[in-house]
Structure 1
Amino acid sequence: MDDSFAIKDALTIASPFIKTVVDTFVTPKLEKFRNRLTDENNINLLPIESNFTEYFHRTYKRLMVVNTLVFNNSQRFLDDIYVPLTIECKSERRVRLKIKGFPDKLSNDYSNILITDTAGMGKSTLMKTIFIDCINRQLGIPIFIELRRLSKEKTLIDEIIEQLNSIDKNFDKELLYELLADGEFIFILDGYDEITLKDREVVTTDIQNFINKAGNNKYFITSRPEKALLSFGSFREFYIHPLIKKEAYELLRKYDKQGHISSMLIKKLEEEYLQNIEEFLVNPLLVSLLFTAFEHKQSIPFKKHLFYRQVYDANFENHDLTKGDSYIHKKYSNLEIDDFHRVLRHIGFSCLKSQKIEFTKDEILKLISESKVFCVGLEFTESNFLSDILKTVPLFSEDGNYYKWSHKSLQEYFAAQFIFLDAKKNQSKIIDLIYNHADLDKFINVLDLYYDMDYKTFRYRIEFKILEEYHHHLQNYYQNFKSDLNLQLIPLRAEMTFLNETVIFYLDEDIDEDEEAHNDNMTDMITSISEQNNLDDILVSQIRIFKLQKLNLFQYVHPKNKLFYIFENKKNPIVKKFSSEKYDFSSNFPFEFNEEVKFARIDYVYNDGVNNEKNFKEINSLISDYVDESIIINHSEAIKRFNEIKNEIDKGSDEFLLEGL
């Protein structure tokens, strides 16, 4: 598209919608406040209609177009490349909705909505679509906040003020809080996982305080799965459904105006030998990378990191078709393709450590300078390299005063490549630190990429440690249950409870409140239960709540459980999807609760009143229904693989490298 004219036309069309939003929602609200405030000075400290009008025009313009690697960071309208995504409630699977715009009914049913999913599933795209539709249909006052901008020094209200401020006006925070608390605002808080780790706790508390002060509004938060999200107990959590093949093909066609490349690619994907790359077709980002990779080489890479390499190659070589196939943009830095890749690897790893993907100009230049020092022998200027990553190899984009990676997963690819190619003797130490990190969730995509880059190291440093922990779990936690009757049932219990701790809690009174309020209360109660019963806090990374009459089940899922999804995607047999169909589930529990027994562990901790020899089979049945459809360890394959890898390690399989030298 002719960017300037097309965007101008779109904004011209949107202007009356923006005016209606301001006239309908903003002006009456501001008038009411002005009538309340008799002090002229206070009135001057409130925003005015033009602040909102300017904000809506600026944000609409920014969100209605997307820069994507598929088009070498050139702009395309969001609406032109958006395929409606389906979201599903984690606690109520019957609640499922295809998002074509603002989800009116869903937002009315659950005013606070949390959308979590893995890298590239389209969370930010979904939020941009919701903002644009809010304006187009005049549904309220949408405020779009990128949470990575928040820090210990910059609160959510500070960011809102910055967004609404005109050049010469500053607002009073408390007055603005009052205005926001009046309702009709729709806050879209995008990218919770992109808040830096060092600021996470402070920023989380600030967001919670903001929601408490301005609770009479609608909220959307997006994030990759994070342990810290438990603190948002009032939010109903949804995840994005994987694309079906029809949707993936529709997306490919949207990327290809002429239709020739997408037709060739879809035809190739239908060939039988390519049926094992379903993993790439369910994820919108990977579908886009598949298109880019195929457009560049007319071949389909089978592993995820090879996608990223081909995308990098395509952007580096970046043939300008308007000047003929042979014309390649000259690089400001004069670096060759592999040297440029080397610098990006160091930048990617530095970003991984700091958990930042967005920088001021001074920060990004400092990062490039540090990478230049590490990459001995390369000569270039920091400013020229910055020009390259913005223009000739557009892996970064400029957003106002900030510079950011085009997509976080790109940064993770280069970080994984750094560990593989540059870390040398520290490679295993880095992998070990990641494996034992309290926020392992932050590194799952890096490990997913690393699995294919260097499976041998992954096998010894990650897979073996998981299997070793399972072996320990199996050998040490079931001594009290080993009757002849239960021996055959222990593997099932071990599978279901490995990296999960399941407890039950009994409430005396009937529960009249709705399920959302019930879950909120249970989440609050879980903290005191943990303290009273010495449950390890690190296990509280995810709480699944199951309610049956007065009985509540809580499952504490360890962060390492997320590694199971990597194994599943790689078709590694040490994990499996569990189905409870072959187990009978009954509401007639084999135990009774009384004044003394209101709480009990039913995983692998022996309990005379509940979890004992006599009830072992029934407790298995209870837990099996609860973990239904989850990815769990596969007992037989795990034991087999544990012994295989242990033998390899004991033999010292690399000794041949030194023999004969």
Structure 2
Amino acid sequence: MIESVALTYGTLVLRPLITEVCKDIYKIGKIKGQNILATIKIDEASDRIVEKTNKNLLIKTIYDIKRPQHISEFYYPTKVNLPDGNILPFNNIRELNIKENLIIEGTVGHGKSMLMRHLILPEIFSKSSLPIFFELRTIQKGETLTDCLCTYLSDILGIKLKNENFEALAQSGKISLFLDGFDELNNELIPAVITKLEQWSIKFPKMKIICSSRPYSALQVSPYFLSLTLHPYDEQDQSGFIHKLTYDMDITKQLVQKISESAVGLKEVLKTPLMLTLFVMTYQTKLQIALSISEFYRDIFDVLMNRHDHLKLPFERKRFVEATQSELEDIFQEFCFYSKNNGNRVSFDKQYFTAGIKEACKTLNLKFDANNIILELTKNICLILRDGNEYSFIHKSIQEFFVANLLKSFDPAILEKFYTDMFKGENHNNFEVELRFLSELDKLNYFKFLVIPSINNFFKETSFIEKGIQPFLHNIFVTENNPNNPSSVIILLDFDYEEKYGFINNLIMKHFFFYLIHKTDNVSSVYIYSKNEKNISDFEVNELATLQLKQLVLSEKILDHVFITLDNKLKEAQDYIRSKTERSYTISR
């Protein structure tokens, strides 16, 4: 089935269409004097592009880890929220009639990468351009996006492309860029990549650029990119997606019924492909519903470890190492922690994998052969996939959960230091998803060491308790717009916001900052400085725009909402701590 689908899409369907685009690229070389482009061997280039495209479209899913599937076999249509408020299926970048380039935003497991891969198919069918699917996380320090794309194009076209050749293709619109995982870019590379993407947006209006990212990326505020948010699955989508997984209408109806009966908090997260897949897998195996998001992820190791035993008795799998399930889970968890602390890697080579497994076994005082552990994790449990010499977690959130699960087992003194380190904005961003898991797994310490001190200190340093929102509002300014310094919102505070309030920023303040940007003309950024760094005299303030923005903030009570949200969170945390510390107990006989 796999080979027949790939053959149909590759040889019979895609190749003639790709050949047409290659001919157009060849013509560019002839017409524009780009001699290197005129040396393309069209048939050979077409074959390489078909092979590369098929590789991008053949995917191992967590539901059927042993068998790579063509995306057309399992993909369920994704809906997006459009700027005009409409919610529509998104199947073709040319259908939406949007001039700007696009950034597709979705939460963990929302299927952003699958959508990006799916979108290259209709682009090929249209023969409008050659779609380039590129994972941004592969850019290394010292490399530029242009260099990486030139290398990519050189490989598939069979010629040595230079920057000017890339620009000729971009100018013609005969290539389109599908750049996956903007949020996985190395932080040091983000400014340069944004600058380059904005330059291309201006210089090459015919070249479509589509990026994917988790919400609130730095690219979202760019005036050259329009954000499309993936819409959560409704009940009809849940049914359609589950049926696409199981191909069984009776099972689909049964599972949709179970979702409707589940706890409210859990029901709210069963709206993405990943969570629905985990739900189907765990229910089919355990015949019970997890009570929380964390329980989902806790179950998944057990489900994958034992799925053959549950579903295919008396089938006995080949084991590669004589380790218990508990030992394997501990090793896997330690490796997740190793990969987080050593470059935050979600994909890695055999040497890195082996070093991490050896370190995990050493930490746990276990004596197993690293190669056998790797075989067990990749061939039996399958939370890590192998592709040649490259290995990767089946999904980034798997790594993030098991890092959190290990962290919660640490000594309270270490946890206190960890949560204190999370005050810093950069640290909080690096552990954002892990902290979300810890808010369930380690609720007491999470509230005690992170939430309560963060909010109390913020209220104190903004004088909110004594003076309300006015001190904070007073420190918001809009700068003048000129060619050298585009207009921006400046916030001057008496304290170092970035060093102290990562939790506050991720909980609510980032929403407030995006509100300021969207409500102010010609503004694309917010800068926060401590008064030790900058003085208001360092900026050319637009007094009228500043007054209008402050009036809008007051009339819409948006800043009131920010502080009310923080106050409610503080009370929730204090009540929880009180329930766990102000208790009495008796021993009865």
TM-score by length of 1: 0.74
Q: In structure 2, what is the equivalent of residue 7 of structure 1?
A: 6
Shift of 1:45: 9.2
Matched, 1:333 2:321: yes
Q: Are 1:392 and 2:391 matched, yes or no? A: no
Total equivalences in the alignment: 561
**Partner secondary structure for residue 232 of structure 2:** coil
Aligned to 1:115: 104
Contact 1:502–1:555 (Cα < 8 Å) also in 2: no
1:641 to partner: Cα distance: 4.3
Asked whether the 8 Å contact 1:152–1:199 carries over to 2, the reply is: yes
Tell me the distance in 1 between the aligned counterparts of 2:277 and 2:123. Answer: 27
User: In the alignment, which residue of structure 2 is the partner of 1:409?
Assistant: 397
* Mapping 1:112-511, distance limit 5 Å: 112-164=101-153, 165=155, 170-197=160-187, 199-201=189-191, 203-204=193-194, 214=204, 216-229=206-219, 232-271=222-261, 274-319=263-308, 324-353=312-341, 354-376=343-365, 378-422=366-410, 425-438=413-426, 440-472=428-460, 475-476=463-464, 479=467, 490=468, 493=469, 503=477
Work out which of the residue numbers 10, 26, 31 in structure 2 matches 1:30.
26
Distance 1:234 1:208, change over 3 A: closer
Paired residues of 2:198 and 2:224 also in contact (CA < 8 A): no
Cα shift at 1:466: 3.7
Q: Deviations 1:206-242 (Å, cap 9, x if unpaired)?
A: 5556666655411001111355335744111121111
Native 8 Å contact 1:390 1:397 kept in 2: yes
Q: Which residue, 71, 75, 92 being the options, matches 2:64?
A: 71
| Matched position secondary structure for 1:385 | helix
Are the structure 2 counterparts of residues 224 and 601 from structure 1 closer, same or farther at C-alpha, using a change threshold of 3 Å?
farther
Contact 1:86/1:98 (CA < 8 Å) preserved in 2? Answer: yes
CA contact under 8 A between 1:244 and 1:281: conserved in structure 2? no
Shift of 1:337: 1.2
CA 1:12–1:78: 2 relative to 1, 3 Å: same
C-alpha displacement of 1:387: 2.0
Give the distance between the partners of 1:146 and 1:438, measured in 2 at CA.
Answer: 23
Q: Is the 8 A contact 1:188 1:220 kept in 2?
A: yes
User: Residues 261 and 295 of structure 1 are in contact (CA less than 8 Å); yes or no, is this contact kept in structure 2?
Assistant: no
Cα distance in 2, alignment partners of residues 426 and 198 from structure 1: 28
- Partner residue of 1:598? 544
Aligned-partner Cα distance in 2 for 1:557–1:82? 41
The residue type paired with residue 402 of structure 2 is F
* Separation of aligned partners in 2, 1:218 and 1:239: 18
In 2, distance between residues paired with 1:94 and 1:115?
Answer: 16
Deviation at 1:531, TM superposition (A): 8.9
Identity %: 18
Q: Which residue of 1 aligns with 2:16?
A: 19
* Contact 1:308–1:410 (8 Å) recurs in 2: yes
Alpha-carbon distance between aligned partners in 2 of 1:555 and 1:202, rounded to the nearest angstrom: 16
In structure 2, C-alpha distance between the alignment counterparts of 1:287 and 1:372, rounded to whole Å = 33
**1:7-30 deviation line (CA, Å, top 9, x unaligned):** 333433323xx322432x332332
The residue number in structure 1 matching 2:532 is none
Alpha-carbon distance in structure 2 between the residues aligned to 1:632 and 1:476:
8
Change (3 A) 1:553 1:477: farther
CA contact (8 A) 1:188 1:219 kept: yes
Preserved contact between residue 193 and residue 226 of structure 1 (Cα < 8 Å): no
Match of 1:582 in 2: none
* Contact map agreement 2:452 2:573 (CA 8 A) in 1: yes
**What CA distance in whole angstroms lies between the structure 1 residues aligned with 2:495 and 2:45?**
48
Task: Give the conservation status (yes or no) of the 8 Å contact 1:197–1:355.
Answer: no
User: By how many angstroms is 1:173 displaced?
Assistant: 3.7
Match of 1:59 in 2: 52
In 2, Cα distance between equivalents of 1:547 and 1:227: 15
Partner of 2:486: 525
Q: Is the 8 A contact 1:196 1:355 kept in 2?
A: no
Q: Deviations over 1:480-523 (max 9, x none)?
A: xxxxxxxxxx5xx58x979x98555788xxxxxxxxxxxxx999
Amino acid at match of 1:634: T
CA pair 96-402 structure 1, distance change in 2 beyond 3 A? same
Deviations 1:255-307 (A, max 9, x none): 11234543332232333x64552222222211111111111101110111211
Q: How well do the aligned residues superpose, as a CA RMSD in angstroms?
A: 4.0
Q: Where does 1:540-555 land on structure 2 (aligned, <5 Å)? A: 542-544=513-515
Change (3 A) 1:533 1:599: farther
Mapped partners of 1:636, 1:43: distance in 2: 63
In structure 2, the gaps of 5 or more residues are 499-504, 529-540
Q: In 2 relative to 1, CA 208–554 (structure 1 residues): closer, same or farther, beyond 3 Å?
A: closer
Equivalence for 2:534 = none
| 1:243 counterpart SS class | coil
C-alpha contact 2:19 2:42 (8 A) present in aligned 1: yes
Amino acid at match of 2:555: L
Cα pair 2:81 2:228 within 8 Å, conserved? yes
Q: Write the deviation string for residues 119-149 of structure 1: whole angstroms up to 9, x where unpaired.
A: 1111111111101221233332111001111
The answer as to whether partners of 2:377 and 2:383 remain within 8 angstroms in 1 is: yes
Following superposition, the deviation at residue 414 of structure 1 comes to: 1.1
Question: In terms of mean alpha carbon deviation, does 287-296 or 276-285 score higher?
Answer: 276-285
Structure 1: 5+ residue stretches without partners: 480-489, 508-520, 559-594, 604-610, 612-617, 657-661
SS in 1 for 2:27: helix
Distance 1:159 1:333 in 2: 40
Q: After TM superposition, give the deviation of residue 96 of structure 1 in Å.
A: 4.1
Cα 1:472–1:402 shift into 2, 3 Å: same
Q: 1:223 to 1:307 in 2, by over 3 A?
A: same
Q: Whole-Å Cα distance in 1 between the matches of residues 156 and 209 of structure 2?
A: 25
Aligned to 2:164, what secondary structure does the other structure show? helix
Structure 1 pair 125–369 and aligned structure 2 pair: CA distance change class (3 A): same
Quick check: 2:479–2:490 contact (8 Å CA) kept in 1?
no
Structure number with the bigger relative contact order (C-alpha 8 A, sep ≥ 6) is 1
**Which residue identity is paired with 1:597?**
E
In the superposition, relative to structure 1, how do residues 623 and 263 fare at CA in structure 2: closer, same or farther (>3 Å)? closer
- SS for the counterpart of 2:36 is helix
